[in-house]
Amino acid sequence: MEEYVINLIMVGVISWTTLFLLTRKLFANYSFEFCNRIVSTTHATLAVILASQTVEDWSCPVCPLNSSSSPKQMQTLAVTVGYLIYDLICSQFDKKSNLDNTIHHLVSIIGIAAGLSYQKCGSEMVAALFITEISSPFLHLREFLKEIGYKDTDLNLAADILFALTFSVARMVGGPYLFFVTLSANNPLLIKAMATGLQLVSAFWFYKILKMVQYKLTKRTRVKKLA
């Protein structure tokens, strides 16, 4: 792995940690999770912007396939590895920490780090980053609204639907496209395995989100009828 990439990852870990500590000080009346979600939202927004800037041709956003990673792609992925390391450590101090989340972080860190070491498949990995993070700000918005007292309101329902729509388009339209082109190209087995895992997880959460939206809409309809 290039030295500048390692340095960028280390700076990222320190920067994300510093942002979290500042957030905890500014939002002292809110929960640990609330502050961590602010950092997560910042990362998701930055990741989407950086990923967009690496695209050479929007008519084929995943091109060139199975190619050497560009400096911009390496930097984008390094920023995310730094964030994932921070979030893995930070989550261990959260009372809601669980094994699934820890495994998810470790697999993601190892997978992206492997891509950075090989300096290959930058287009595919950055596209996956874009697809996974584009809906994250809306996911966190739902939780922000709940904590500040807007749970079970029309505003919170709107956030739920916005998240569901963004997730569905990204994961169930962009995701299958990325899955197909990644498996069709002569990519390393690890990259193909990551693409397969991403699509399987996306399909599972797509089902869960549909059930969530159905429940929320049904609940809202019942409340209005009783009123």
Residue-wise pLDDT tens digits, 163-180: 999 999 999 999 999 999
pLDDT at 84 exceeding the cut of 60: yes
| Residue 168, pLDDT score | 95
Helix 136-147 to helix 154-169 angle (10° resolution) is 160
| Residue 223, pLDDT score | 63
- Distance separating alpha carbons of residues 53 and 50, to the nearest angstrom: 5
- Distance separating alpha carbons of residues 182 and 195, to the nearest angstrom: 7
- Distance separating alpha carbons of residues 60 and 115, to the nearest angstrom: 21
- Distance separating alpha carbons of residues 58 and 35, to the nearest angstrom: 35
120: β partners: 68
Q: What is the pLDDT of residues 178-197, one digit of tens each?
A: 999 989 888 888 888 888 88
